[in-house]
Amino acid sequence: MGAPLTIWMGRSGSGKSTRLYDRLISHAQKGERATLIVAEQYTFEAEKALCGRLGGLLGVQVLSFSRLCERVLQERGQGLPVIGGSGRRMILKKE
């Protein structure tokens, strides 16, 4: 069985992000792997914040929901379908 899922809720400024980053850093320093799932538009800011606090992203993954889905499909051998040249031409064809 996998690791437990932790969800923190609270008002703005209540320390959720600080607590989250501290927990991720703790896991990384112990050599454990950790995954942070964020909204699509927040991936860069989360990676930047972790790099600033941790000095890198070794052992910590920051994934958006769509990237998490892609990763699961890849691990299960069911990658996303790729459109070939003829399919691309069909989509782009003007009438």
Rg (CA), the chain: 18
pLDDT tens digit sequence for 29-47: 888 888 888 999 999 998 8
Task: Give the per-residue pLDDT at 14.
Answer: 93
CA–CA gap between residue 47 and residue 49 (Å, rounded) = 5
3-state DSSP of 46-87: HHHHHHHHHCCCCCEEEEEHHHHHHHHHHHCCCCCCCCCHHH
**Whole-number pLDDT of residue 64:** 93
The pTM of this model reads 0.65
Higher pLDDT, 60 or 84: 60
pLDDT for position 1: 55
